[in-house]
Amino acid sequence: MELKDYNNCVKEWADALFRFACKSTGNEEDARDVVQNSFEVLWQKRENVAPAKAKAFLFQVAYNQSIDNYRKQSRVSYKEEIDDSRSITPGQSDLKRVLERALTKLDEQSRALVLLKDYEGYSYEEIGQITGLNESQVKVYLHRARKVLKEYLVSVENVI
């Protein structure tokens, strides 16, 4: 990967990575650290990372760091810190707000899987490569997460 490719990655994926890190860690400051570290690792390993694989590499690093970060700090107050100020802006639907809250009910790994699936549209196989899980595990964890989210949405009356 050349310098130009790296800078293109910054332009292309910094925002997505930041969103993913925000939702994974539940904290913007931690998310910034995750993004900076991820790109730093990419820069250091640029000789071994092809431009086409750069995005997956970034999310892999961010996923590992987010999981570690979350486990270290075990921020339980994740949703209150994140959603009200930035992601839930006035005018957004109640469904989205409830869904953001439902996301906090998931463990960090399941949340990361849902984010990778819904935010970035990765396939089971790609998620498996990023997270180090096999395809079946990804599918099982994701379906468990979907079920939790669905149950939460259904349980909240007036939303659906």
Binding residues for another protein, rule: CB under 8 A, are 3, 6-7, 10-11, 14-19, 22, 32, 35-36, 39, 43, 86-87, 89, 95-96, 99, 102-103, 114-115, 117-119, 121, 123-124, 142-143, 146-147, 149-150, 153-154, 160
Task: Please name the residue that has the structure tokens 């669905």.
Answer: 150
Cβ atoms of 93 and 48 within 8 Å: the answer is no
d(CA 147, CA 125): 20
Least distance between another protein and beta carbon 102 (Å)? 8
The three-class DSSP label of residue 75 is coil
